[in-house]
Amino acid sequence: MMKNIGVIIELDKGRVKETNFGMITLARAKDTQLFAFVMDADAKSVKEVLESFGITKIVEVWLAPDQLNNPVTRAKAMINAIKEFNISMVFGLSTAMGKDLLPRIAAHLFAPLVMDCFYVDLEQKIAKTYQYSGKTIATIQLTGEVLVFGIRPNAIEPVKAQEKAQMLKFDSSHIVATGFRVIKSGGIDKTTRINLAEADVIIAGGRGMKNSENFNILFQCAKKINAAVGASRVAVDAGWVPYSMQVGQTGEKVSPKVYIACGISGSIQHFAGMKTSGMIIAINTDENAAILSNCDYYVKADALEIIPTLTKILDNG
């Protein structure tokens, strides 16, 4: 019998987030039906783009409007959909949403779950993920009727594969979460304009930025290079920037193409969150800083001087 694999699609203002495409590429296999589950939009609007990456069935999961932001309702709807469509492998992103949703799904289905995967072998049912703050790579084989994988954003290169998809609807508007009601949702700090986990370029600041005002230097530069702004824990603990910007073991795990570390020493805890970056550029006044042994380019400079200069050059260019 043909296997059914499901991917849970994340949207941003009605558009499929780029980082889904790598996940879909990973979930594609011969002799399988590839289902995309869409909860937050009219699925017709995303049909074309999902087809271009090999999706063969698009399921629009209907939720009651007052339940849209409720993770319990979302999980229940997805659990029902997984059963209804006989999904044997479920893929979601290891983003804030995925970290909330996927464990709920796995727990309810008694399904094994591996989060933050950067590799999955569908035949062998093997996933690779980082453990112990990125010090080791774990190769994990899963067994069970349903397997759940959380995929690290940006970790997989997307490859197109044109298909024609069938549109389906799955009415879950009757589901109302009990014991869990979201009173209000929103209030995200505007500073995190580009989602850190999904950014191609990140410019991050540490203790070397010295205060909250100096982070504006990074925001101004970020605008020019289309980057997200991140931070070390020291900068967050000092109250200079919100926790949502923290990169590292206890913050966001990121895999941008380019990571520019400004005034960050390169502790193992910080490195645990950004070691999979394509290219690391360190701007640091201290040529003995630990980050030097882990970066591709080192710029010996005062970040408070060189970043405004760079922004000015980009302004004039």
Ligand X SMILES: Cc1cc2nc3c(=O)[nH]c(=O)nc-3n(C[C@H](O)[C@H](O)[C@H](O)COP(=O)(O)OP(=O)(O)OC[C@H]3O[C@@H](n4cnc5c(N)ncnc54)[C@H](O)[C@@H]3O)c2cc1C
Distances (CA, A) of 105 to 80, 100, 202, 223, 314: 10, 9, 31, 38, 46
For ligand X, which is the closer residue by CB, 22 or 248?
Answer: 248
Minimum CB separation of residue 35 from ligand X in Å reads 35
Binding positions for ligand X, 178-207, rule CB under 6 A: 206-207
For ligand X, which is the closer residue by CB, 5 or 260?
Answer: 260
Minimum CB separation of residue 196 from ligand X in Å reads 12
| Residue of 55, 98, 263, 295 interacting with ligand X (CB under 6 A) | 263
Binding mask 216-235 for ligand X (x = CB under 6 A): ----------------xxxx
| Residue of 56, 246, 277, 311 interacting with ligand X (CB under 6 A) | 246
| Residue of 222, 283, 295, 310 interacting with ligand X (CB under 6 A) | 283
Burial of 293 (0-12, 13-18, 19+ CB in 10 A): exposed
Residue 304 touches ligand X, criterion: CB under 6 A: yes
SS3 235: helix
Q: Nearest Cα to 91, choosing from 118, 52, 63, 60? A: 118
For ligand X, which is the closer residue by CB, 98 or 248?
Answer: 248
Residue 269 touches ligand X, criterion: CB under 6 A: yes
Burial of 30 (0-12, 13-18, 19+ CB in 10 A): exposed
| Residue of 192, 220, 249, 276 interacting with ligand X (CB under 6 A) | 249
Determine phi and psi for 166, rounding to 5 degrees: -90, 140
| Residue of 92, 284, 295, 310 interacting with ligand X (CB under 6 A) | 284
- Cα–Cα distance between 248 and 149 in angstroms, integer? 21
Minimum CB separation of residue 18 from ligand X in Å reads 24
SS3 161: coil
Helix axes 71-84, 96-109, angle to 10 degrees: 50
Minimum CB separation of residue 264 from ligand X in Å reads 4
